[in-house]
């Protein structure tokens, strides 16, 4: 049984509510939970990255303004719903899109515009480091961005005093602490699961590369300290409280959890931190994660090795593109309807169009779509061009059109996961989906089940996503008992009564997606031609 409205008001007034904020690609979201990890209020701020001088970025001013706007929205919603002004919190947790490049000098001045995970401009560095470490280093990883800047002999590299991620940067502003949750850190530099810290041998190798480049600092001197879930990561300073709440109501001294990445919060939000559990987070980007029993037999460029927020090894297939192109088409339908004077409810429109796909031919009737807004590492694209193509005799109707775009949103994920699940024989007991793709009941879930040829569950909290997962991590930090592990905490105190629905894929759905993928693979050269020709 959940709390009554009056009981929730008392939880907030007593300072027991916990706040999680996640910086997503298109939305900054805040979720406030009670002391049972049940969401009781939300806030949000819409934003979008900018392509400036060929670099996907967010200005620092927009990061700070968006942060404050999101919290202000939450604060207003709490006041409107419960008649309470937020002043005290049990804990705070910050998470964000992983990877990228944020570097500062000794006076905390930003040395070059923030380079997000979306940039595919570090191929030379990623290739060199992958060979040097015998460990897959993707282009979006922070270490690849740093080494590419070194290879490019960029003017700022000698001035670097601190390198972090978006979540790490916000955490530093709130607490003054240069620390990082291990899951987020594993997207900066390889982690040794035995030590739950940066891999010492690889650190030594990279320090040698720094010295060879004539740089005086070492990796550990400029990278954040690594912490595991539940560890002390500092408290909200007076300056941090003023940044988050310029109105001055929020009190300093609140414990702040180790900052995490959206991969880690996705694992928490889906109760997928134990070995042989997996999750798929599907929004602007999409990634699948499986907690591994052992390391893979060889290095695969399509599969990243990261960790859970506790430091256990995870096989991850990450794709830069998921729902952006799908959303663009839905918005086109919205515009079309509005041209007829129809008032459009976007939730209903998504539901109608997604469910229409369930009436289609299982192979999408010969329609093929590429959702590449940006480059895509799994298929080796440094740039993307959204593309829709069909045979002359393809069955062009709305149902097939929608299924082709739903398939497209998960196509590169399927290509990568087939390596891990089929070629490597990685065992997975359960897969849970979360994120925007799963908001329309049953549709994205059945498409994912067909892609992975495995049952897929969606929990009641699927729509809450990473902000809720970060709030849970912050709660774990202050509620854990003794040596209680994160997986035990999730199992016994968060998901013990959580509702979820599971969909088993039909053979027809699996065969249909496989047929689509064969056409998709043959049409990759068309996408490559589009990148080369459409400028």
Please report the domains of the chain, with CATH numbers, ordered by start residue.
1-97+165-186+227-269 (3.30.420.40), 99-162+189-222 (3.30.420.40), 270-321+416-503 (3.30.420.40), 324-404+507-533 (no CATH)
pLDDT under 50: residue ranges of the chain: none
HEC assignment per residue over 62-96? HHHHHHHHHHHHHHHHHHHHHCCCCCCCCEEEEEE
- Please classify residue 55 by burial: count the beta carbons closer than 10 Å to its beta carbon, then call 0-12 exposed, 13-18 middle and 19+ buried: middle
List alpha helices for 280-360, DSSP H: 324-339, 346-357
SS3 state of residue 473: helix
Rg (CA), the chain: 23
Q: Which residues, 6+ apart, have CB-to-CB distance to 118 below 8 Å? A: 25, 49, 56, 140, 285, 320, 374
Integer Cα distance of 236 and 240 in angstroms: 6
The rounded distance, in Å, linking the Cα atoms of 314 and 133 is 18
The span from the CA of 439 to the CA of 402, in Å, is 16
Three-state DSSP class for residue 503: strand
Q: Which helix (H) or strand (E) is 462 found in, with range? A: none
Question: Quick one: tokens of 169?
Answer: 């940067």
Please give the structure tokens belonging to residue 400: 């097939």
Give the model's pLDDT for residue 283: 85
| Residue whose structure tokens are 């940039």 | 119
- Cα 173 off chain centre by: 21
**Letter string b/e over residues 278-305, b meaning 16 or more CB atoms within 10 A of that residue's CB:** bbbbbbbbbbbbbbbeeebeeebbbbbb
Residues forming a β-bridge with 314: 291, 306
Provide the sign of the torsion angle of the four alpha carbons 80, 86, 89, 95, taken in this order.
Answer: positive
Report the b/e string of 383-392 with b at 16+ CB within 10 A.
Answer: bbbbbebbee
For residue 150, the cross-strand partners are none
Judge if pTM exceeds 0.85: no
Q: What's the confidence (pLDDT) of residue 460?
A: 67
> Strands 197-198, 91-96: parallel, antiparallel or unpaired by DSSP?
unpaired
How far is the CA of 281 from the CAs of 177, 237, 315, 369, 430, in angstroms? 29, 33, 14, 21, 14
Instruction: Give how far Cα 221 sits from Cα of 151, 189, 212, 216, 466, Å.
Output: 20, 14, 17, 10, 30
**pLDDT number for residue 535:** 87
Give residue 532's pLDDT.
96
CA 279 to CA 281: how far, in whole Å? Answer: 7
DSSP annotation of 283: S
């Amino acid at each position: 049984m959940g709390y009554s409205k009056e009981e929730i008001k008392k939880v907030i007034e007593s300072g027991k509510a916990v706040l999680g904020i996640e910086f997503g690609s298109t939305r900054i979201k805040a979720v406030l939970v009670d002391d049972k990890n049940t969401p009781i209020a939300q806030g949000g701020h819409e934003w979008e990255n900018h392509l400036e001088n060929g670099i996907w970025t967010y200005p620092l001013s927009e990061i700070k303004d968006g942060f404050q706007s999101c919290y202000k929205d939450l604060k207003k919603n709490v006041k409107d719903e419960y008649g309470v002004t937020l002043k005290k919190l049990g804990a705070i947790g910050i998470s964000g899109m992983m990877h990228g490049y944020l570097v500062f000098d000794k006076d905390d001045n930003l040395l070059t515009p923030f380079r997000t995970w979306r940039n595919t401009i570090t191929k030379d560095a990623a290739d060199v480091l992958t060979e040097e470490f015998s460990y897959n280093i993707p282009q979006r990883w922070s270490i690849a961005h740093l080494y590419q800047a070194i290879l490019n002999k960029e003017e700022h590299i000698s001035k670097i005093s601190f390198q972090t991620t978006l979540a790490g940067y916000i955490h530093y502003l709130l607490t003054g602490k240069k620390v990082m949750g291990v899951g987020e850190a594993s997207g900066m530099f390889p982690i040794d699961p035995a030590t739950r810290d940066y891999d010492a041998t690889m650190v030594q190798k990279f320090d040698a590369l720094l010295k060879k480049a004539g740089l005086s600092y070492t990796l550990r001197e400029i990278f954040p300290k690594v912490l595991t879930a539940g560890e002390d990561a500092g408290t909200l300073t007076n300056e941090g409280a003023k940044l988050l709440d310029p109105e001055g109501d929020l009190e300093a001294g609140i414990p702040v959890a180790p900052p995490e990445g959206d991969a880690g919060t996705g694992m928490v939000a889906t109760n997928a931190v134990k070995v042989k559990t997996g999750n798929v987070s599907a929004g602007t980007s999409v990634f699948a994660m499986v907690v591994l029993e052992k390391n893979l037999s060889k290095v695969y460029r399509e599969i990243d090795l990261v960790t859970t927020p506790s430091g256990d090894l995870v096989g991850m297939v990450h794709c830069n593109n998921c729902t952006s192109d799908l959303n663009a088409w839905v918005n086109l339908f919205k515009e079309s309807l509005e041209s007829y004077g129809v008032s459009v409810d976007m939730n209903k429109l998504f539901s109608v169009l997604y469910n229409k796909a369930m009436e289609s031919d299982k192979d999408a009737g010969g329609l093929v779509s590429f959702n590449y807004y940006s480059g895509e590492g799994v298929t080796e694209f440094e740039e993307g061009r959204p593309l829709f193509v069909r045979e002359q005799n393809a069955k062009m109707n709305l149902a097939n059109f929608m299924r082709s775009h739903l398939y497209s949103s998960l196509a590169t994920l399927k290509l990568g996961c087939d390596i891990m699940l089929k070629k490597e024989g990685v065992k997975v007991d359960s897969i849970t989906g979360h994120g925007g793709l799963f908001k329309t009941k049953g549709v994205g879930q059945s498409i994912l089940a067909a892609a992975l040829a495995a049952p897929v569950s969606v929990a009641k909290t699927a729509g809450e996503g990473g902000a809720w997962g970060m709030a849970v991590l912050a709660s774990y930090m202050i509620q854990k008992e003794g040596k209680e592990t994160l997986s035990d905490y999730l199992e016994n105190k968060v998901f013990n009564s959580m509702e979820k629905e599971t969909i088993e894929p039909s053979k027809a759905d699996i065969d249909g997606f496989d047929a689509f993928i064969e056409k998709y693979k043959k049409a990759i050269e068309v996408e490559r031609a589009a990148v080369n020709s459409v400028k």
